[in-house]
Each structure stands twice: as C-alpha cells, then as structure tokens.
Amino acid sequence: MQNIPELKLGVIAVSRSCFPMSLSERRRAAIVKAYDGDIYESPVTVETEKDAVKAVEDVKAAGVNGLVVFLGNFGPETPETLIADLYDGPIMYVAAAEGDGDLYDGRGDAYCGMLNCSYNLGLRNKTAYIPEYPVGTADQLAEKIAEYVPIARAIVGLKNLKIITFGPRPDDFLACNGPIKPLYDLGVAVQENSELDLLVAYNKHKDDPRIPAKIAEMEAELGDNNPYAGVLPRLAQYELTLLDWAEDNKGAREYVAFAGKCWPAFQTEFGFVPCYVNSRLTAQGIPVSCEVDIYGALSEYIGICVSLLPVTLLDINNTVPQSIYDKKIAGTYDARIEETFMGFHCGNTCSSLLENPHMGYQRIMKRDLEPELAEPDITRGTIEGDIKPGEITFFRLQSTASAKLTAYVAEGAVLDVPTESFGSIGVFDIPEMDRFYRHVLIAKQYPHHGAVAFGRYGKAFFEIFKYLGVTDIAYNQPKSLPYPDENPFA
C-alpha cells in the first residue's frame, strides 16, 4: 500500500554510572539479535546528558523514525528522559529482566529504574509508549518491540497527514461533527474546500489521456459483475481528479486522506455516486470517507497504518431480523440477537473485502433523484456485496462538539450470514453489543459511522489512543464489569 510511513526502528541503551555499561550494551545487542526485523543499534550508550544529545543525533542521522530506549540497567533518570525531549517522534521505553548473569556484578535493577524513568517522564510532561509489562528478556522485549511497530507507524503517519475535505456536512448529519482544533493538537493538517472546487477540477480532467487505462483497471477489477459499465468513464475521470488533487495539495505533508460530501448535489452535478472510487483509493492506502466525516477518515487512516490492509467506514445501521437470526445464527454462533447488527454503507468497501463484489447503484438516492427512471443513471457507482466473514475491530477516534478527543474500540466478527440486502453490508457480532450500544455509542454521543479493520487490532488501537492523549477510551465491557451509568437493577 502507498500513503503510509515506512518505519525505521532504532534502539538506544542507557546506563547508570554506578552499573557496568557493558551490561546495557550486551543486553542491547541481544535484543537486536532476537528481533525479527531491521532495527538500528545506536553505538552511543547514554550515561550523561551529553551522551543523550549524541545518541539522538546518531539515530536521527540514521533515519530512525521510531525509537526504543532500553534500560539495560537502572538507568540515568535525567539523561534517559532527556532523550524524549530531544527526539521528535514516537518513543518506547523498556527495561531488562535479570537472568543473563549473576546477581552480584551482573544485576542491573532495571525493574526499579523503570519506576524512576516514568516519574521523570512525568516531570518533563513527555508522552512515551510503555508496554503493559515493560520488563523482559531479550526475546520478550523483541516481541514487545514488534507490537510497538504498528503503534509507531500510526503516530508517524498522523504527524505527517493532511485531511482534505470537500463541502460542508449534509443537512441532518451534524452527528459527524468535525471540530478542527483537536486535529491540529494531534499534528494533523486540514484543507477545507468547496464542492465547486472539486467540480472545477473534475471538469478539467475531461478527455484526460489517462482515462482509458483507468477504465481498464476498473474493468479488470469488476470482471463480469458490472451491469453499469457506461458509468466507468465518469468514475475514471473522478479517480484521476482525486489522485491529482492529493499530489498537488499535500504541500509539506507526506500523507493524505479525503472526506467528501457525496450527496445530495453530487449526483446531479457530477452524474454518479463516488462510492466505488472511494473504495479503490482506500485500497491504495488513501482513505476517502463519506459525508465529510473528517474523524471517520482519520480513523480509517489509523486503521490502515496499523493493519497494512484495506479498511472501511460503515454505518452502525440496522438490527438483524429475528427470522435471519433464527435461521442462520441461533445454534451456529454463540451470539444473542442483541449482540448482532448490520454494518452498512452505500458501496464504499473495497472489492477485496466483499463476497461477489459488483457494480450497483444507490437505491436510497434513486428514490429521490430519479424515481421515474426504470434504469438508474446519476445514482450509479456503488460497489456492493456482503462483507466477507472473519474477525474485525470496530473503532473510532472522535472529537466531541466541545473539542475533546474520545475513542472506542470493540473486537468482534463478521458472521458468515447472508444479509439479504443491498450495499456494502455485513452481519456483525460484537460481544455485549447491546450494552456497548447503549452505554458507549448512545451515552457518549458517538456518530453512526464506525471504522472497521479486518483482524484483531484492539490492543494496538487502545495504545495509540493512549499515546495521543485520549483519556476517554471506551470498549465493549464484559457483563461482569458494569458501565458507570448502567442501571444495576435493569
């Protein structure tokens, strides 16, 4: 995928002067050897503040954009946390467990030193990623560093991201509110444009010589499942418009995501719905959210950085009918009907994530825009199919109307159950969804859009949101753990 950072890891070992420096250096080398991947081992071991300056200069010169600080022994509190002052990027702190030497001259006491390190990070008001249990052997810390990689990649991506929007949110969709200030606090840039700006750019791409090749790409992707091939020239023209806009407008940023207004004027002026193009760009690593959902696009981008796979943005849409539950779910899956729902959008999910993907039209919009036509015209352009079954993570990073960042994460699955409906749609099962729906989504006033990553990534998302300073991170709590506002008598 394009449009995401390539992470280069580096490790700096620190050593307290009354402990052998060789202990930290030997243990650092053991981690590098145990790590399954490339990691730059800085030769500068930090004992003093001047060492910290040299070490940071060294990793920067090596192109390191994701740093690990390793307490091979107790560690020097001031120099080791000065590294976090000097290094502008994601940073992880871990510490060595004992067991690779005697407990006289070979004991490092990093278990103790990590406590002082965390205190000093607090004094400096610095954020760092510290694993749930940050102390381990070389093999154990190599595994923890591997878990840090998607977290660091997302942090790097966000600090170099520009979200490009087109148009204001549609009327009656105020729930997808997008206060701008928290985005700047995260280091994310925003470029807001009019739909007219996009229309002008689209019209300039008429007869673009690249259109036939782009049509051929779409035809190869759709195969025989394309009853509306006549709309492909318009869609190809639009995809080229967005790709050129991204390249011409990213400015000082490296990565781009879009949040576009896709109705009601889009169809009448552009002559199609943008859903299929949105899905294709998302498959390339450039998420395009519907209905100018800025935080939806932000969430999708985080999902791509973590999973390195296509993601999607869906409405938490409708309940599963009792008849479908009785016929296909009860007795086959361990899920109450209240724990199931259908996630849906008009047709924005990548074809690789769909069963029998096919070109369609936006049925809901057709009722309003061209009800008299037997065959759709300006409402063509969706990619439709049931979402493939498998494990998923439903998540969202959102700003409240009062500009406070909140987030939720819930792991679950798409069930192998026909939806008997239209659009990009699937039957989802999230444990305790009924309580999560009431005490998180409703109680905390989240919008109806949720991002979906295809796999279990809850641990990484939770740590990313913590790193970003989000203090309200909700999840689907088990029945044994009531929500604060949950009625104990209900």
Spatial distance between the Cα atoms of 34 and 364, rounded to a whole number of angstroms: 55
Specify whether 121 is located in the same domain as 206. no
Instruction: With CA atoms as reference, report the closest residue to 254 among 149, 155, 162, 154.
Output: 162
Question: What is the predicted pLDDT for the residue at 3?
Answer: 95
Burial of 91: CB neighbours in 10 Å, binned 0-12, 13-18, 19+: buried
Question: What is the predicted pLDDT for the residue at 470?
Answer: 97
CATH number at residue 41: 3.40.50.10940
Domain-ending residue, one of 84, 117, 149: 149
Specify whether 243 is located in the same domain as 342. yes
Helix axes 211-222, 275-283, angle to 10 degrees: 90
Question: What is the predicted pLDDT for the residue at 372?
Answer: 84
Does the global pTM surpass 0.85? yes
Domain-ending residue, one of 123, 149, 175: 149
Question: What is the predicted pLDDT for the residue at 177?
Answer: 75
The one-character DSSP state at 95 is: E
- Per-10-residue mean pLDDT of the chain, 490 residues long, equals 94 96 97 97 98 98 98 97 97 97 92 97 96 98 98 98 91 78 95 96 97 97 92 97 97 96 89 96 96 95 98 97 98 98 95 96 86 88 97 97 95 98 97 98 95 98 98 97 93
Question: What is the predicted pLDDT for the residue at 387?
Answer: 98
Domain-ending residue, one of 101, 126, 149: 149
- The C-alpha angle 279, 159, 350, rounded to 5 degrees, equals 10
Residue length of the chain: 490
Tell me the pLDDT tens digit for each residue of 129-185: 999 999 999 999 999 999 999 999 999 999 999 999 998 877 777 777 789 999 999
Spatial distance between the Cα atoms of 383 and 362, rounded to a whole number of angstroms: 10
Burial of 118: CB neighbours in 10 Å, binned 0-12, 13-18, 19+: middle
Spatial distance between the Cα atoms of 275 and 381, rounded to a whole number of angstroms: 6
Tell me the pLDDT tens digit for each residue of 35-50: 999 999 999 999 999 9
Q: Which domain holds residue 16?
A: 9-149
Instruction: With CA atoms as reference, report the closest residue to 301 among 451, 191, 182.
Output: 451
Tell whether 490 is covered by a domain. Answer: no
Spatial distance between the Cα atoms of 454 and 157, rounded to a whole number of angstroms: 20
